[in-house]
Amino acid sequence: MFCAVLTLLALTSPLCVKEDGPPDFCHDLDCPKYTVKDSSLGPDVELRSYEAGVWVSTNIKGVRYDKAVGTGFMRLFAYISGANEDMKKIPMTAPVRVELTPGQGPFCEDHFKVSFFVPFDMQESGPPAPVDSTVFVDPAPAADYYVLSYPGRTNEKEIIDKATSLVRALDDQMLPYDFTSFFAAGYDSPFRIFNRHNEVWVAAGAELAAAQAEAKQA
């Protein structure tokens, strides 16, 4: 279902900061820095500009979303619990970010990259190397994303529905975007019952980036 929907759409997850500190949905955890460039795009939709940042990631493919996230989370949790060259415990951060890339061709094997954000005090020096060969340090360049936020518990179907809704809203406004993949971001532990926060991120298109670069030079 996942890759079929994304393939159809293709044819037709910086500081979470505000003036008085990080957003409440970060729950006092380190989370990627961003600034909001446009909040007038629709209900719960923002254009955010994320700073470059370092993540730790792992790739999973050929399984459903829930299993991929569970497998990826446990690999990364082992890493921050001491499965690294320094045998160091690393604080938990937010969000747990998952890049979803639809498979190509008739067998449509979907690909997932699950990531933890590296704490601020390790961003410049770099985190310790993983001992698990399936886990890797994953620097991310500065980038702009359209972000749709929504509450509650989530699942694969809802993530796809939210991404679909976001892309349609961008199409309606003729805004450029890159949908070769997209991100799902979750900010809460499974034990949090109320005030849960989820996001889907779609990369802003090259045309927007070029226009911004031209505006800076003017």
Please report the DSSP string for 184-207 in residue order. EEE-S-TT--SS-EEEEEEEEPHH
At residue 47, the 3 state secondary structure works out as strand
Give me the half-sphere count of Cα atoms (radius 13 Å) on the Cβ side of residue 205. Answer: 10
Give the Cα separation of 94 and 86 in Å (integer).
Answer: 22
Q: What residues does each domain of the chain span?
A: 2-217
What residues of the chain score a pLDDT lower than 50? Answer: 1-19, 106, 213, 216
Strand partners, 58: 114, 135
Q: What is the pLDDT of residue 215?
A: 52
Q: What is the pLDDT of residue 89?
A: 98
Q: What is the pLDDT of residue 104?
A: 63
Cis peptide before 106 (omega within 30 of 0): no
Give the Cα separation of 17 and 26 in Å (integer).
Answer: 10
Q: What is the pLDDT of residue 188?
A: 94
Q: Roughly what angle, to the nearest 10 degrees, separates helices 2-11 and 156-172?
A: 10
pTM confidence score: 0.85
Chain Cα centroid distance, residue 9: 19
CATH number of 2-217: 3.20.80.10
